[in-house]
Amino acid sequence: MAQASAGQGLQTRRVLVVEDEFFIADDIRIALDSAGAEVVGPVATCDEALALIHEQSGRIDLGVLDINLGGELCFPAAEVLARAGVPFIFTTGYQEAMLPPRFRHVTVWEKPFDPLSLVRSLPAVIARQEG
C-alpha cells in the first residue's frame, strides 16, 4: 500500500525519462508506473530525448534527465523543456557544481538514489512550476 501513495499527485502525468543506464531507467520507470504516471521513454541519448519532446509536443508534464548520457550532456533537451515551461529534474553521478549557471535552480538527484524517493519528490516539482 505504501507504494501506491509513493508518488501521489503523479496520476495521469506524463513523465519523460532520459537515462542511459538500463537498470536505473527501468527502476525509475517501475516507480513511476506504480505511482500512476505515464512514462514517456525511457530514452538513452539526447537526440532521442529531443525527438520525443518534439513528437510529444505539449504532452509531457515533467522530465527526469540524466546529465551525462554516455559522454553526451543532456542540456539541449533541458533547454527545450525549459522553453516549453515543462518542469524537470536532473540525475547525475557527478557533482552539482558542473551545472551551467542557467540550470543551477534545477533539483539534482545524485546517484545512487532510491527511485521511490525520487518519485515521491516529483509532485512538489510540478507544484512549484504550476504555483
Tell me the pLDDT tens digit for each residue of 10-21: 998 999 999 999
What pairs with residue 63 in β-bridges?
16, 88
Residue % of the chain over a pLDDT of 70: 92
Range of the domain at 77: 15-130
**Which CATH number do you get for residue 75?**
3.40.50.2300
Give the global pTM.
Answer: 0.91
The DSSP line for 10-56 is: -TT-EEEEE-SSHHHHHHHHHHHHHTTPEEEEEESSHHHHHHHHHHT
What's the structural domain count of the chain? 1
* 59-106 tens-digit pLDDT: 999 999 999 999 999 999 999 999 999 999 999 987 777 789 999 999
Q: Which single residue is written with the C-alpha cell 505511482?
A: 35
8 in a structural domain: no
Q: How far apart are CA 71 and CA 112, in angstroms?
A: 18
4 in a structural domain: no
